[in-house]
A and B are shown apart, each in its own frame.
Chain A
Amino acid sequence: MRRLMAHRLFWPVAMLAVLLLINLIAFPGFFSVQIRDGHLFGSLIDILRNGSPTLMIAIGMTLVIATRGIDLSVGAICAISGAVACSIILGSSDPGNPGTVAVAVIAAIAISLVLGVWNGFLVSVLGIQPIIATLILMTAGRGVAMLITEGQILTVNSPPFKVLGSGFFAGLPVSVLIAAALFLFAVVLTRRTALGLMIEAVGINPEASRLAGVRSRGLLISVYVFTAFCAAIAGLVLTSNQTAADANNTGLFIELDAILAVVIGGTSLAGGRYSLFGTLIGALVIQTLVTTVYTVGIPPIATMVFKAAVVTAVCLLQSPRTTELIDSWHRRAQLRRTLEASA
């Protein structure tokens, strides 16, 4: 039991289980998944679907945080990506044409990659602190999105585009499949190559890594580019789901949820070792939390407070001091038992 508790994913998984249990008690049909029109339906599926944009961004954020960085601009990149895609679709003569949508998606991703290069350039070449470097795009990015949409909310009516956010494939929501693909891609990319090792090395000690021959500059840029890529995809999914690009609100505060997901998943903001699986759990915890608010009937105005309370609890449980306390408590209990046995 102690070894289980010492595992870095113990508390996040426990938290997820508790949240799901609360939902089950409040709403006995919570776990039921039905098939309607060949699609899977149910609360669990909703959690997966609604949580997928946060998860997508949290995947990139995990790698950025592992390098001792942070990317606050992901929400703004979501908005820009959505704005670019929608303005291209709206500007074309045939919004329903899959070719048009493909062009729009590729353009949105391409522009986001450029923004990722910008972030990476500021951080690794100019040496600006990541929180400041990405704050620039966080604030400026929504302005850029506003310029692209010309201050309007761009509503698109394009069936192929709508598939990204609300479509189904093989019974599962397309957005969930995209998030899953992105997750697998990141796992394979960093754990099946030596990229993960390099990222962790740079995050733990940049100078020692440099002396060992790690090319940290290129590595940092790539990580920010990858995160921008994740944000671009999330932006497309969000926009598609709302069938509208809203420069002010698409992906608003999503960076904070993503950072939370990473932290809940056990990756330290101080950089170094990271766990993509932990981040997956973290993203699910956050989304389940939101759902719980509705099922348990907490007034929506208290949602933020409730969320904060749960997050605080997880962080406290994971803190080194708590671990120490639990350890010493165990040791004392053991000592007492030994003493009693010998007496």
Chain B
Amino acid sequence: MMKSRKKSIWVFGDYRNYYQNRVTLQLLSKAVDLASVIDAEVCALVVGHEIEEWIMEYTAHGADRILAIDHPSLESYSTEHYLALVEKLARERNPDILLIGATDFGREFAPRLAKRLGTGLSADCVGLDMTPEGLLVQVAPSFGGNMLAEIVTEEHRPQMATVRPGTFKEIPHNAERTAVVERLPLPEDLPVPRVRVIEYERAAERDHTIENATVIVCGGRGMGNKNNFKKLDDLAALLGGDVGATRPVVYAGWAGHDALVGQAGKHIKPKILFSFGISGAIQHTAGLGEADFIVAINKNPQATMMKMADVAVTADAADLLNHLIRELKKRIRD
């Protein structure tokens, strides 16, 4: 039964952890924007078991309608189950747009769904726009993020996109909002999944691995020598962070291989990254894509690292480090 001919923008509810849930909320917010252009409704899909929390969450964050399927067999994420369910729903209701977070799950799920629905998909979008005619303009990065491409799906529906977490700002939680909640039964003809989940557990949050450190102090050859390099530990300790290193430094034995940041080493995503005496070879910068705020210190203001930094301090790295440690010790209070 068709509820209405009103256009509809769907957001897939990906909620397994905080990070995934956030991107869903961000998508709802963007969907509200896009919907206003074409007078569409925003619809959240919530599939799983014991999902009331998410129905409320998505209502409070902008959904006009919730399509919910709650069943014990959906407790663990199963790409195959979810594919079958969403394909069925989409075929029945013909949404105009379907947005999915570019989480690991979303990046595996969305292309397969697009294929099943015979429609296009642009991946990892960093921007979305709506034309008055209802064409979704999908801005996706290409070539290592240096270029952006504007992509459209002209003829096929739904228009599908996955979106990088953090691209959009979520609407503040509003417990007063209401939405139409449709609780749907689990279809009986759901195929038996061919992929069996043998083990499934939240990965142990390894305390203090450089991958999840919020502050990272990275050093390169510009630190001059091993003694100077070791002082990065002091700064990291003051800021509650970890020390990272470039490849030449690891080769020189100033730091262990564990500290290697870059293509062949760790990919980091700190809130603040200090980069001392690093020129910024692609082998290193490839690991910095998700660093929020970069402070680079280098004698050479032309260094790549200095150009990609939020703050570029032209100075001798080792000298500046000493001053910074001294000054921070004076200033830091709990």
Note whether A and B form a binding pair. no
Contact surface of B with A, Cβ cutoff 8 Å: none
Contact surface of A with B, Cβ cutoff 8 Å: none
